[in-house]
Amino acid sequence: MVEVERGLPRVRGSVKWFDPGKGFGFIVADSGGPDILLHVNALRNFGQSSVCDRAGIEVTVQQTQRGLQAVEVFEITPPEDATQDAETVAPVDPDVPLEPARIKWFDKVKGFGFANVFGRTEDVFIHMEVLRKSGFAELQPGEAVGLRIVDGERGRMAVSIASWETALHKKG
């Protein structure tokens, strides 16, 4: 059975691929059928600028002249295999609060980057595995996110990343 949200069908699936440079990608519905176009604007409205391949996703869709297109993103979950690659990533304690932050820079080639938490001066280290484990493909400078942060050997480091929208809803 397909749920209907504001007259549009709500679909669960996984990200087939998403190219942040092109600004779009495709979703494969769990129930089958044609690929669903995922435009970066739908992701931005959810609070993310990218999503990693094979991430779980829940969206509403509409039929367009070119086929099905995601209208609104409701949930993104990391790929199932992302949690298996956690050797370089500290375990996530769900009691660690999400802290509001902005991405300073992130380099996919180097595999890491840094963010600044609002009201604090020190940088927070973000490793590529944390990005993947959290369901992101990349981060843009200035992007607002929520971070779960622990103290590591070399300073503060992110162990989990959430979209800004998700972080706002989990604060209360």
- The set of residues, in sequence order, having a beta carbon less than 8 Å from that of 88 and lying 6+ positions away, is 127, 129
Q: What are phi and psi of 20, to 5 degrees?
A: -60, -30
Query: Are both 3-77 and 81-171 of the same fold?
Result: yes
Secondary structure letter of residue 137 according to DSSP: S
Alpha helices in the chain (DSSP H): 40-46, 128-133, 164-171
Per-residue model confidence as pLDDT tens digits over 50-94? 888 888 999 999 999 989 999 999 998 887 765 444 444 455 677
The second-level CATH assignment, the architecture, of 3-77 is Beta Barrel (2.40)
| Three-class secondary structure of residue 49 per DSSP | coil
Fold for the domain defined by 81-171: OB fold (Dihydrolipoamide Acetyltransferase, E2P) (2.40.50)
Question: Contact, 90 vs 152, CB < 8 A?
Answer: yes
Per-residue model confidence as pLDDT tens digits over 125-172? 999 889 888 888 889 999 999 999 998 877 899 999 988 776 666 554
Domain boundaries defined on the chain: 3-77, 81-171
- The set of residues, in sequence order, having a beta carbon less than 8 Å from that of 65 and lying 6+ positions away, is none
Cα–Cα distance measured from residue 119 to residue 96, given in angstroms and rounded to the nearest whole number:
18
